[in-house]
Amino acid sequence: MMNKIKFLLASLLSLVFSTANATEISVLEETFFQSGKIYVVVAVCLVILIGIFVYLFRTERTLKALEKEVYEKTK
Amino acid sequence: MLQRVLYLIRHEARMEFRQQHTLIGIALFALSTVYLCYQAFQKIDQGNVWSSLLWIIILFTAFSAIGKSFQQQNKGLRLYLFWNVAPGEFILAKVLYNMLLMLSLGFLSFGAFILFLGSAPFESEMWGPYMLGIVLGSIGFASLLTLISGIAAQSDSGVGLTAVLGIPIVIPLILLLNKYNSNILTNVPFSENVENLAFLGVLTLGILGLSYLLFPYLWRD
Amino acid sequence: MKHIWWKALCILLLVYTLLMTFYVGLNPGLIAVSSSTVEPGYNEFTLVGYNTTFESNKESIQVFLRSDSSFICTEILEIEDEDKVKFGFISPANLPTPSLDIYCNNNNDGTLFLANALFVEGYTAGPLENSCEVKVEKDAQTAFGYPFQPRIFESIRNLMLHVPMWFTMFVILFISFVSSIRYLSKPKIEWDLRAETSVNVGLVFAILGLITGSIWARFAWGAWWVNDPQLNGALVTTLIYVGYVVLRAGINDDMKRARVAAVFNIFAYVILFILLMILPRFSEGLHPGKGGNPGFNTYDLNSSLRAVFYPAVLGWILLGYWIYHLRLRMNRVRHKLYYDE
């Protein structure tokens, strides 16, 4: 799991830094400039949805712990 | 009320001078930072760089000076003050004392800065307005950071919290100050700059008012 | 489920927002021209449009160049497809300005415009000799569809996704500010729970706003972070409220934590308000409403954008409030469990 995350991070970082040179069009820009930059909207939409769902899942986890405690107390 | 505030300020100063090592420590901190800048930059000719660097030094000096201001009281004294002094008067005294402290530290840094890094960006008519900026800046820092350090002192996790809470909040102040003083050194006419000064004054007054209103809620254990 | 109506409204608005965000078309516009320098003599250029209908409106298409207030006519050489047209013209002897704007006009798309697209090298200043008459049939930007903006193109749709994050954050942080004031005037733990929960939820929206803004900035302005008042304000807001969370974590006593946090919250909110007012004085903005930027200003927020943007803001705010309300109920239960033995 850690390795996977490390690999993902490394590839993401290399993607980010490959765009540091502004004179040439990078892979990143090529992808996102397609069809009038519509993929920027897709990315933004995905980030928001994923963000909100991650937050909801975290809330659920807290709630689960809480439920457990309530059951133990009322037992 | 004024008398009690004055008395508290005197008391605060006496406490501080009794433990001289803290004062000397802070002054040493300011001086060594300036010296470090001198080692790194040697001479600075650009007005805006000169000014920004000076403000960063004063900012960190302010954090180390005011961050301590609620820490060193012992329990008995604290209890005594709590029963005998109104919280509004207490915070006013604290802020005023910190203003005096910051004024001396600000001018100390300013003097050391000129000594080491030279006064190349200055022309003769710039000194007055620039020093006015330092006066207002020291007063602003003192009033803003006093309440923040009061808040941080309530926490159980220690001194470092003043910086965490204070740095984001101090940003509007330092932006205004840096703009004002850089403008002076880059020959922007004073009539355009006076707006920044007005904003600074309003901001400082607002902070003082808020401190006066909010401190009583902190002062309750 | 007594108050189901606003949740239903929230779902309805968000479904409408997401559908319309992707469904409504983008108005036609010009993207680029094959080269930007004009040499003496005869010149040929290819003009690239987006969502245009050059081929289907062969008869009415017209390309002309503007220099100051006079126009140069060009001849259409070839229409390659719906969004590529080749035109040519003889570089005029005298020109009022060296930079030329390209206008393209047809009956379906209306008049499209590419600012400062061409530059004449070694020009002679003087009035233009054969200025040409231009007929404009229809204004492109009045059509139903999102306005076409240079550099932003389709990503204008982000207006319905990224911008409401900030609105939501401010509404939720305002709840926290009010709760803190109420706590100080009457210390009931309920107000503290509200303040804490709303800062928590507000921070989620702030972080989402920062990330999405950064992505959008990268592909519209070319950098992940730019010096812009809105961005600086957003970052400072996030930092201040992270500080709030850190402060809370550092105090063990319950009542003390609530009181100190409320004091900090009120102080921070007021300073933040002042900051957001003075920040625009320190850097030229790239965001809407500031001069000379490739963004969009209030004038460009056309009726079709408005018809989606306002419901979108309301929908996201309701969603934020919904999440906040759930968290609040959870925190109430937790508090009851731990402290009301």
How does pLDDT run across B149-185, given as a tens digit for each residue? Answer: 888 888 887 667 888 888 888 888 888 888 888 888 8
Residue A46 to residue A40: CA distance in whole angstroms = 10
Q: What is the CATH number of the domain that holds C45?
A: 2.60.40.1220
Residue C115: per-residue pLDDT: 82
Q: Does C24 reside within a domain?
A: no
Q: Judge: B175–C279 Cβ closer than 8 Å, yes or no.
A: yes
Band (pLDDT 50/70/90 cuts) for residue C82 is confident
Residue of C nearest to A28 (CA): C219
Share of chain B above pLDDT 70, in %: 97
Chain B residues close to C267, C-beta within 8 Å:
147-148, 151, 169, 210, 214
Q: Which chains touch C (3 or more CB pairs under 8 A)?
A: A, B
- Predicted pLDDT at C327: 94
CA A43 vs CA A38, C277, C288, C328: distances in Å:
9, 31, 22, 30
To the nearest whole Å, the CA of A5 is away from the closest chain C CA by 19
Q: Residue with structure tokens 């002679």?
A: C124
Calculate the alpha carbon distances from C232 to A19, B199, C153, C279 in Å. 23, 19, 25, 8
Calculate helix-pair angle for B20-41, B2-18, nearest 10 degrees.
Answer: 70
In this complex, the chains that touch B, judged by 3 or more CB pairs closer than 8 A, are C
Q: What are phi and psi of C293, to 5 degrees?
A: -120, 160
User: Which residue among C240, C252, C279 sits closest to B168, beta carbon to beta carbon?
Assistant: C240
Q: What 8-state DSSP symbol labels residue C26? A: B
Mean pLDDT within B49-76 = 83
CB contact under 8 A, B151 and C252: no
Q: Do B165 and C247 touch (CB under 8 A)?
A: yes
Minimal C-alpha gap between C330 and chain A (Å): 7
- Cα-flanking dihedrals φ and ψ of residue C202, to 5°? -60, -40
Question: Residue range B193-221: average pLDDT?
Answer: 85
Distance between terminal CA atoms of chain A?
38
Number of domains in chain C: 2
Cα–Cα nearest to C324, from A56, A50, A44, A53: A56
* Nearest C-alpha neighbor of B96 from the set B16, B7, B26, B9: B9
Q: Is the model's pLDDT at B136 over the cut of 70?
A: yes
Would you call C141 an interface residue with chain A, using a CB distance cutoff of 8 Å? Answer: no
The contacts of residue C130 (CB under 8 Å, 6+ apart) are: C72, C73, C92
Distance from CA of B147 to the nearest CA of C (A): 9
Measure CB to CB from residue A37 to each of C155, C204, C208 and give the nearest one. Answer: C155
Complex ipTM? 0.86
- What pLDDT, in 10s, does the model give residues C263-292? 999 998 888 888 877 776 666 556 654 433
| C240-243: long-range contacts, CB 8 A cutoff, minimum separation 24 | C240/B168, C240/B169, C240/C268, C240/C271, C240/C272, C241/C173, C241/C199, C241/C202, C241/C203, C241/C206, C241/C268, C242/C203, C243/B164, C243/B165, C243/B168, C243/C268
- Give the domain extent around C113: 29-142
Contact B103, B58 (CB under 8 A): no
Kindly report which listed range (B66-80, B91-105, B120-134, C311-325) carries the lowest average pLDDT score.
Answer: B66-80
3-state secondary structure of C329: helix
What is the pLDDT at residue C299? 45
Nearest to C164 by CA among C313, C43, C273, C323: C313
Please give the pLDDT value at position C295: 41
Q: Residue C287: what pLDDT? A: 62
Across the interface, of C154, C323, C326, the residue whose CB is closest to A37 is C154
C20 domain residue, yes or no: no
Nearest-by-Cβ selection for B217 from C184, C268, C270: C184
Domain boundary among C142, C161, C195: C142
Q: Is C2 among the domain residues?
A: no
pLDDT of C199 > 90? The answer is: yes
Both tokens assigned to B45: 């000719």
Q: Is residue C157 part of a domain?
A: yes
Helix-helix angle B161-185:C229-249, to 10 degrees: 150
Q: How far apart are CA B148 and CA B164, in angstroms?
A: 10
What per-residue confidence (pLDDT) applies to A12? 60
Cβ pair B210:C256 closer than 8 A: no
Q: Which residues of B touch C278 (CB under 8 A)?
A: 172, 175-176, 199
Share the mean pLDDT of chain B: 84
Rounded to an integer, what distance in angstroms lies between the CA atom of residue C332 and that of residue A66?
11
Per-residue pLDDT, C292: 37
Query: Is 60 exceeded by the pLDDT of residue A16?
Result: no
Contact assignment for C161 to A44 by CB distance below 8 Å: yes
Of B212, B218, B154, which Cα lies nearest the Cα of C247?
Answer: B154
| Cβ-Cβ contacts under 8 Å, C319 against chain A | 52
With a CB cutoff of 8 Å and minimum separation 6, the contacts of C99 are C67, C116, C118, C119, C120
Alpha carbon of C298: minimum distance to chain A alpha carbons (Å)? 21
Chains that touch A (3 or more CB pairs under 8 A): C
Angstrom distance (rounded) from CA C231 to CA C260: 29
Q: What percent of chain B clears pLDDT 90, i.e. is strictly above it?
A: 8
Strand segments (E) across chain C: 29-33, 37-38, 42-50, 62-67, 70-73, 75-81, 84-90, 94-95, 99-106, 110-120, 124-125
Kindly report the average pLDDT of chain C as a whole number: 83
More confident residue, C147 or C242: C242
Q: Report the DSSP pairing between strands C37-38 and C42-50.
A: unpaired
The radius of gyration computed from the CA coordinates of chain A, to the nearest angstrom, equals 20
Pairing of strands C110-120, C99-106: antiparallel
Residue at which a domain ends, from C116, C142, C168: C142
Which residue, C142, C172, C197, sits at the end of a domain? C142
**Residue ranges covered by each domain of chain A:** 2-74
**Inter-chain residue contact C251 with B151, CB threshold 8 Å:** no
Q: Mutate which of C14, C27, C146, C155 to test chain A, going by most A C-beta atoms within 10 A?
A: C155
Closest-CA residue in chain A for C331?
A63
Distance of CA B76 to the CA centre of its chain: 28
Residue labelled with tokens 């470090």: B36
- Rounded distance between C-alpha atoms, residue C49 and residue C113, angstroms: 10
B45 vs C79: which has the higher pLDDT:
C79
What pLDDT score was predicted for residue B221? 62
For C322, name the nearest residue in chain A, comparing CA atoms only: A56
What is the C-alpha to C-alpha distance for residues B51 and B181, in angstroms, rounded to an integer?
6
Structure tokens at C131: 């200025």
3 state DSSP class of C250: coil
pLDDT interval class at A54 (50, 70, 90): very high
Residues 6+ apart with CB under 8 A from C303: C144
Put simply, the chain C residues between 174 and 203 with a CB less than 8 A from any chain B CB are 184
CA separation (Å) from C175 to B103, C2, C202, C266?
Answer: 38, 22, 10, 11
Q: Which residues of B touch C271 (CB under 8 A)?
A: 144, 169, 172, 207
The C-alpha of A28 sits at a distance from chain C's nearest C-alpha, in angstroms, of: 10
Residue C158 lies in a domain: yes
